[in-house]
């Protein structure tokens, strides 16, 4: 959780031309109010503008090269084990790309992260 809280700070540095990667662990069919495809992008665009560039990956399609992204927002990764997620966090850190997860990002965007973390 520390890595994701640290990554959430990057939300304060995003601008209208920033690039965000939303990574989903599973390959489910998105629902009408999907958290990663609808709710989080809506929160981001409400805050940073419609020009914010958002891309999505699913399952094992997570890119090795994260250069060009300003932030990675990852799902809860219930389909992955701990080591798999830690490898993704480590990959992002090595490339100096901040990474957070859905819950921490939503808490930050709603202004409550400082009230629930630590």
Of 78 and 110, more confident: 110
pTM for this model (two decimals): 0.93
In this prediction, residue 17 has a pLDDT band, given cuts at 50, 70 and 90, of very high
pLDDT value at residue 96: 97
In this prediction, residue 25 has a pLDDT band, given cuts at 50, 70 and 90, of confident
Q: How does the average pLDDT of the chain come out, rounded?
A: 92
SS3 58: strand
pLDDT digits (tens, 9 = 90+) for 66-89: 999 999 999 988 888 999 999 999
DSSP alpha helix (H) spans, the chain = 2-8, 40-48, 82-94, 102-109, 113-116
pLDDT tops 70 at residue 117 = no
Residues 6+ apart with CB under 8 A from 63: 21, 57
């Amino acid at each position: 959780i520390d890595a994701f809280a640290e990554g959430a700070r990057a939300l304060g540095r995003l601008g209208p031309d920033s690039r965000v990667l939303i990574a989903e662990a599973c390959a489910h069919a998105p629902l009408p109010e999907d958290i990663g495809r609808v709710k989080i992008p809506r929160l981001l665009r409400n805050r940073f503008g419609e020009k914010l560039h958002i891309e999505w990956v699913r399952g094992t399609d997570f890119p090795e090269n994260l250069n060009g992204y300003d932030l990675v927002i990852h799902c809860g990764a219930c389909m992955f084990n701990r080591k798999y997620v830690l490898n993704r966090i480590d990959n992002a850190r090595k490339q100096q790309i901040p990474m957070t997860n859905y819950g921490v990002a939503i808490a930050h965007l709603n202004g409550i992260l400082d009230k629930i973390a630590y």
